[in-house]
Structure 1
């Protein structure tokens, strides 16, 4: 398997298209390249599946029943402003296509399109997304935002699922201080967690990593390498 194929295999694609023949054409041509390839038949179903699947890339038609591609794109962008969205458009949809560009689509293909061209562009996107998924926490530690794996100088660090959730929470908030209350709510939902238990949890994580990785702001909460992210 080539490096490009490996990158594609990590991606989840959502394809929203009401024309069954086009939907089948693209799925048959591309689905095997990806981790998952989810199909929706209209904008409402597309939005619902977007929330459930949390795809890396969305491919959508413009003209669809119930909720058209433009309205769906607007709603998706409200949830995730950075999500790449590729539009498939008939040439007669030129005015709508201009509106799609205004609301932040990443790329468009005019029907009839070549699935190979779409795959080529998805490979290009995969490389861009891969650059954004590895976050340097400091000069020694990095965090894969997709797999939630932690690395020290490119060596895998074996941490627990809850420790991954904790680092991910700090990374999501970047330079904002994350309060002890929020950490407890996210990591131990429904449990009554003491401050001592939280401190012990963080102490164990520091023992596996480095004391300076998790910064304690007395009386406020925690940060992760705030000067480096």
Structure 2
């Protein structure tokens, strides 16, 4: 049976060794890199199933590395390890294509749980069908949205939100339901993140003839589909 392959990009050699040892014990194949440039190179040569990366690294930081990774692969899960705590930093990472964050210091057990959850979720997405609503088509596997003749690459979170809305057309989808699907919690601090992703999705849909995302004040959002 093929093992899942993890690309671990971490410049702290002690932490990298600890994480690598834990992952190997859990049955993963692990490729390590000590900076963003090496991580980007090994991503291209080794084809990992998931990327676990520090944010602050020499040569090429984690954000810049993941932006370049996303140009090659829109779907591979990315989990950031970070000491940063500001909402702006977190939003920036998610906009670039991060799937999850874990703040330093952390428990190895929590890291393992999050890695396994991301891999399961990604496997499920690959099995899901293409969704068509009005003049729009969402391909979850490739995280692509087609609006008429235009095509957009989505972040993982944007794709999840749109999938939820496409599956509940003309119905109210609670913001807390979106937060649970994305982060497995309804932490109030995540509400502004949801707003940010909705804002960007609305921009993609401006050229649609019959679809719009409406705010339902104090509750959530509705994908309005006109005949």
TM category (shorter chain) comes to 0.5 to 0.7
Q: Are residue 65 (structure 1) and residue 62 (structure 2) matched?
A: no
Q: Can you give the 5+ residue segments of structure 2 that lack an aligned partner in the other structure?
A: 130-141, 143-227
| Aligned residue-pair number | 130
Match in the other structure for 1:102 = 95
In the alignment, the residues of structure 2 paired with residue 93 and residue 68 of structure 1 have an alpha-carbon distance, to the nearest angstrom, of 17
Match in the other structure for 1:53 = 46
State the structure with more CA Rg: 1
CA contact (8 A) 2:49 2:119 kept: no
Tell me the C-alpha RMSD between the 2 structures.
Answer: 2.3
Q: Are residue 115 (structure 1) and residue 102 (structure 2) matched?
A: no
**TM-score between the two structures when normalised by the length of structure 2:** 0.52
2:122 aligned to which of 122, 129, 133 = 129
Which SS does the other structure have where 1:91 is aligned? coil
In the alignment, the residues of structure 2 paired with residue 121 and residue 68 of structure 1 have an alpha-carbon distance, to the nearest angstrom, of 22
1:41 aligned to which of 34, 37, 41 = 34
In the alignment, the residues of structure 1 paired with residue 4 and residue 65 of structure 2 have an alpha-carbon distance, to the nearest angstrom, of 21
Distance change in 2, residues 1:133/1:44 (3 Å): same
In the alignment, the residues of structure 2 paired with residue 35 and residue 29 of structure 1 have an alpha-carbon distance, to the nearest angstrom, of 9
Distance change in 2, residues 1:105/1:135 (3 Å): closer
Match in the other structure for 1:13 = 6
In the alignment, the residues of structure 2 paired with residue 24 and residue 92 of structure 1 have an alpha-carbon distance, to the nearest angstrom, of 24
Which SS does the other structure have where 1:67 is aligned? coil
Q: Are residue 31 (structure 1) and residue 24 (structure 2) matched?
A: yes
Q: Are residue 74 (structure 1) and residue 48 (structure 2) matched?
A: no
**TM-score between the two structures when normalised by the length of structure 1:** 0.52
1:49-99 Cα offsets, whole Å, 9 max, x none, are 000110010000000000000000000000001111000000356643331
Deviation at residue 131 of structure 1 after TM alignment: 2.9
Q: Can you give the 5+ residue segments of structure 1 that lack an aligned partner in the other structure?
A: 1-5, 137-171, 173-229
Match in the other structure for 1:221 = none
